[in-house]
Amino acid sequence: MLHGRFTGLGQPANWVVVDILRLENGVMVEHWDVIQDEATREGSAGGYPMFGDQFPG
């Protein structure tokens, strides 16, 4: 599983991305991903950042 924050891709908001891979004998046989705009401090229902321990800014 890979988890990251992507910025500077011409998008109005940062992306938080999770990629999940399934390997068989060292070969990728399945791939799933989730891509979501990163919540701002104002948009976070719980008040916590989606990635890391700080909101971007």
Average pLDDT, the chain: 89
Comparing C-alpha atoms, which of 49, 46, 47, 48 is closest to residue 38? 49
DSSP-assigned letters across all residues of 12-27: SS-EEEEEEEEEETTE
pLDDT band at 12 (very low <50, low <70, confident <90, very high): confident
Per-residue model confidence as pLDDT tens digits over 23-44? 999 999 999 999 999 888 888 8
Residue 7 confidence (pLDDT)? 86
pTM equals 0.69
